[in-house]
Structures are given as structure tokens and as C-alpha cells.
Structure 1
């Protein structure tokens, strides 16, 4: 039996973080209903979904296995329909901004007495209180920039780079999922639901926890530096003969002698100036220049083979093509077969957790806009004539 098959989840959100949380729950067996406006989730517009080009990869990745309903909650009948659908729901997930939720009387305070067992999850940019509660946010702004992540990652000697689309959203989706499942566990004991809230900004601070904890405790933290000023003689990125990159991470004093033996410079190990930790930047530059020359003479494959003779932590900087072709990515379960909604399938990223011996994955394709409106309303107790009336009034479609 699927892990979450006893949970009914209603999701009223767009883009990535809210839908992504619900999509993982759908992969794990939850019955997920996605509520959209007549315009549809904005990610529907990023790729065609036709018989000639089936399966929008972006929308499908965040909405696979869900059923789709179109409601206009700005109309009294549409709002009432949403409340009716929520009557037997376990979880409600929304990333609609708090002010808009209050105006629609669909915020937690408006629903908690009527739906006391409902777990209500708010996915926000900056939280539920404060001056910026309704400031619009994407992960590029709330998670990447305002949380301090971008500043910590980008060296100060170059133009900053942004995050890739949805990067912080997916971290926030997992944070939301953890909060929802904690609330589900609590409700099994108390019988009552609760509000769960995540914020892109707060999740970014948590993801940056190494640097942020040092800064909070000590008042300063060393973040990204130009290569010529970075300590750590053997750590960092090195370019190879075939113009690829390999990343070496130093974890302890045993790494330096291992690296020197691997590159044929064991004579440096016992020299006092190379004693750990190497604090003289002239020596750091000398060692780094040595390694630059070694790696520049090797292909990436040869460099990886050399590093595997050590116990030093390293990895090639893989391209998307590399990852897709990597046998270890297959073994790690990085990809799943996604039904495209037109009778075929395509590869897509898997949810980040596996449960050995239990099948999880897309329960079906992403829904067409309003594909299940009539079905879901009928399950909620609406008769055919009532559904027809909702559609005629523009409250559903």
C-alpha cells in the first residue's frame, strides 16, 4: 500500500514550492487535488503540452499524480466549493500571499474553527507577519538573495550569479513537507490540525546554516573569497586538460599527504612550511600552482582516476548530460518515468527520498486544466445540476 494513501491533500498554489511539496506527497501515495484559476498555474505556459509535443516538463514535474480542479474563489459559489472539498481533507497547501488569503476569507484563522482537523500549510516569501508579509517573492529573491545565500556564494571580485530556477523552491518544498508530516504525526495523537508555515527567506537562512551560525556566534564568518585569497591549499576547483573542472574538498590533515603522494610530490609532506594548517599564503599559492599544473595535464577521466587512489573527497563538475548518463545516478534513483498524459512517458527527476522495497513515483500525469473538476465536485457531494450551475456561473470550469 502506498505510504500516504490515507491522506487527502488539497493544494491551491502556483509555480514551484507549494506544488512541489504536494507533488512529493502524490508520489508517496497521497490523493492530491490541485485547485487552479481559469488562467491556470503559470508554469503551464512554459512549454507546450500537445499531442505533437506531449508533456510539459516543468508543470509535470511539480504536478504529476494530482487531479485538477478549476474554481474561481473570488465568487461566493467558488469559495463555497473549495470549503466543501476541504471538509474531509487532511492537508491544505497554499502559497497565495497572506493578504489575499485574508481578503478571500481563506486564511487559517478564517477556517480553523470550521475545519479543526485540517493541517493548513502556508508557503510564504517572508513569513506571516512583518512589513514584508505581502511583498512578492521568488526563490531567486527570498531564498537566494535576501537570506544571504547569494552573498555567501558569490566571490566579491565578480558579477554575482543567480540561482537556477526553482532551486530554493525545491528546498522550501521539502521543508514544507517535513512540517506537514510532523503535523500529521501530532494530529494522530491530538485529533487536531494546525497551521504550518515556511518562508523562502527562513529556509535560505537554514540552508546557509554553516556560515550563518558562525556569523551569529562570532560576529564574522569567512564566505566566498577570490581564489588567490582563499586558504586551503588543495581545496577548490581545478581545470583539466579537456577544459572540464574537478572539485576537491579537504576534510582533515591527512588529505594533504595523500594528495602529495598522488601527484608525486611526497617530498613536500615533511617540510615544516607545509605543516598543517598551512597559513602562509605564499605556500598556499605554491601548492595550488603545483596542483593546477598537475590537473591541466590530465583529462577529467584521468583526474578522477587519480583521485580515486586516495580517500580525499572529490567530484567532477558534471553537466546535465553527464548526470543523465551516469550509471551511479541510475543506481541512486535520480530519475523516474513520467506519464505524459498522452499515452507515453518521459524521464523526470525523482523525489529525493526512496523507501527500499516500496514502490513510489508518479501516480499519473499532471492534470489538464480543470480535467477533474466535475469528478472532484461530485465526490464532495455536488449533484450534476449543481455542478452545471457552478460552471454556468463561472465559479468552476
Structure 2
């Protein structure tokens, strides 16, 4: 007799996802991938990322939205009216985790200040995602990823030395905030097993941006020197940079003297390791310009994949600089199962891998209001009450829109 697989790690956990755009939805999607029952509650206007395209995978669903909101049930409720808040109140009674990123003060205005949530729903874990927090000089200010990259110093250290500050090319602050929110929720769930009580998980894009400043923050805190942009190079390790090979860029990361010796052997430059300018990492950092010039001349005629393979064989970390297509089709990426393809759905797997209770990616992405009737019915609303709420515009109930009905 075949033993059934164990339930996912978060099976039985009920989550209300009231968040929009990126950080909150990404956090809630990770919870869903690991088995939580996540109900996404959209306003009548919908999550704005539904329109962030092209490309679109359905008439009202962008690829951007699809890859942040899979495996969630979907209801549409107008929380700006009392009748909508009554529905929220009912749903919260058996909810474990609330994820929201409303403008500071919105929940309080609707009758749910922090202390009231804790009083009425003492076991609830409330995850709040904001740009700058709810108090202080910028408390309540809206925050988008790029704005926090600017405010938090990340742009100042990203770019070429003689060029302008640049935004990191992915919404790294939003995504890492989502991961930290996921981690904070798991911490709060673990603590709830002891105390029986929920708590606030307070995540801000600002906190995330500042946490990502290492090692530049460590350098400034140690000696007061304001870090400068170094392009692809590292401020305290050399050589640790992108070089132009015969057919494109290759990145070489030398972290110690042994690796530097191996690099010079592969490039047939034995004298370089004995050059007093390059004997130690400190020496190489001080003379980084001369070092990179010497290496560039030796690397220029070698194909990037060949050079990376030769270096890796000698224990020197190196890789061709892949574009997105090359990265997503790379053999190791495929081997790790990081790209999920099911029917018409194509997305990325959960980055959290568990051996016994792995994530189960459920690719269906629901249309706005696809599960309103089911969710409200399970919460105790009868058919007449649901029909009245639909007629009054408090909720919307639609036929499911799916990217994969398999």
C-alpha cells in the first residue's frame, strides 16, 4: 500500500491577503505554495498589477500579476463601506494571518486600529507592509521599490564610477520585503504555539533597503567613508568583477590568495601572483586598476563559457553573465526545478525548498471575484445574502478565469 505524501508544511493555515502590488502578494504566494489557504481580497478596482502589461495571460490578468498571485482563492469586497467591513469582520473570526499594505491609518479609520485587532482577534497574526512605517518623520508616506532604493542608499552604490546612480534592475526591495514578511509570519506562528497569542509583524521597505546595504554600511560605520560606485567590482575584494571575454562578459570572483593563484595559472600569467602589487587581497584592492587591465588583456580572446568552466574546475567561482533567457534555461536552473510549466502557466517555483514537505506550486490564477460565493457561503452567508451583497455592489462574484484549468 502506497503511503500518501505528508501534508504541506502550512496546511490548515488560513490567510487573508488584502495586499496589492508586490511585497505583500509575494509573501502570501509563498504561504500558499507551502499549503496555506490564501484568500486574496481585492477592491472593486482590482489589484493595479492586473493591468501592468503587456504581456497579458488573460484579458484582465498580466503576467506580472499572475506570478505573484497563483494558488489563491479570490474575492472582491468593497471595504470602504460598512457592509464590506462586516464581511471582513466575519472572515477574520477564523483567520490565522492577515497580510495588508494599506496606507497608514486606513485600518484604524475603518474601525480596526492595532489595539482593537488584538482585542477582538487575539490569536491573529497581522502582517503589515508599508513604505516607511506608520510613525516618525516619514511615517505614512507611500513607498515604491525604486523610491526606497533611492532613499535607502542602494542607488548611490549601484552604477559605474563615472556614471549616475542606477536602480537595481529588479524590484529587490519589494521582493526581499516579501521574504522577510514570510519569515516574520513563521516566527510569529512558532511563538503562538507557546503563548496562544498573535502579534503584529511590522515590515517596511525602508527597513529592508537599509538591511541590504552590507558591506557598504559596515564600511561607513567603521570609518565614516562614504562608499562610491564601483560598477560590477567589489569595494573590498579583488579581482571580483565582470570582464569582457571573446563572446561577451564573464564574471570572476576571487575570494582568497589560493584562488588568485589558480586564476593566474589558468590565464598562463604566473608572474602576476608574485607581483608585489597583487600578493594579498589588500594589495589587489589598492592596485585594482592595474590588475584589471592586466587580466582584461588575457581574457579578451577566450570564450566566456570556456573560461568559466576552466576556472570553476580549479575552484575559482566564475560564470558567463547570462541574460534572463539564458538564466531561466540554464541546465542547473532546470535541474533545480526553478521554472514551473503547467499548461499555459509558466512561472518560478518557490525559493524555499523543504525535503519532506516541499512546496506544491498550484498554477491556477483566479479571476477577480471568482471565489466570492464559495468563501462567503463557507463563512455562513446564505444565497440571498450573497445575492443582495452583489446587487448592492458590496461584493463581486464572477465566473472563474483560469490560466490553467488542468
Equivalent residue pairs, number: 390
Any conservation in 1 of the 2:233–2:240 contact (CA below 8 Å)?
A: no
In structure 2, what is the equivalent of residue 261 of structure 1?
Answer: 265
SS of residue in 2 equivalent to 1:137: coil
Q: Give, in angstroms, the shift of residue 51 of structure 1.
A: 8.2
Any conservation in 1 of the 2:32–2:71 contact (CA below 8 Å)?
A: yes
In structure 1, what is the equivalent of residue 295 of structure 2?
Answer: 291
In structure 2, what is the equivalent of residue 225 of structure 1?
Answer: 230
Which stretch has the larger CA shift, 255-264 or 35-44? 255-264
CA distance in 2, matches of 1:168, 1:278: 31
Q: Give, in angstroms, the shift of residue 385 of structure 1.
A: 1.2
TM-score, with structure 1 as normaliser: 0.91
SS of residue in 2 equivalent to 1:274: coil
In structure 1, what is the equivalent of residue 78 of structure 2?
Answer: 72
- Aligned: 1:189 with 2:226: no
CA distance in 2, matches of 1:204, 1:225: 19
TM-score, with structure 2 as normaliser: 0.89
SS of residue in 1 equivalent to 2:86: helix
- Flag the 1:210–1:232 CA change in 2: closer, same or farther, 3 A: closer
Any conservation in 2 of the 1:336–1:347 contact (CA below 8 Å)?
A: yes
SS of residue in 2 equivalent to 1:272: coil
Q: Which has the higher contact order (CA 8 A, sep 6+)?
A: 1
- Unmatched 5+ stretches in structure 2: 1-6, 397-406
Q: Give, in angstroms, the shift of residue 362 of structure 1.
A: 2.3
Any conservation in 2 of the 1:234–1:291 contact (CA below 8 Å)?
A: no
- Aligned: 1:59 with 2:65: yes
- Aligned: 1:325 with 2:329: yes
Deviations 1:339-395, CA, capped at 9 Å, x for gaps: xxxxx3322111111112434232341210011111111111111111112122221
CA distance in 2, matches of 1:228, 1:13: 37
CA RMSD of aligned residues (A): 2.4
CA distance in 1, matches of 2:81, 2:8: 36
Off by >6 Å, runs of 4+ in structure 1: 48-55, 226-231
CA distance in 1, matches of 2:236, 2:387: 69
Which stretch has the larger CA shift, 51-60 or 366-375? 51-60
Q: Give, in angstroms, the shift of residue 231 of structure 1.
A: 7.1
Q: Of residues 276, 298, 304 in structure 2, which corresponds to 1:300?
A: 304
Q: Of residues 145, 152, 177 in structure 2, which corresponds to 1:147?
A: 152
CA distance in 2, matches of 1:326, 1:241: 20
Which stretch has the larger CA shift, 170-179 or 281-290? 281-290
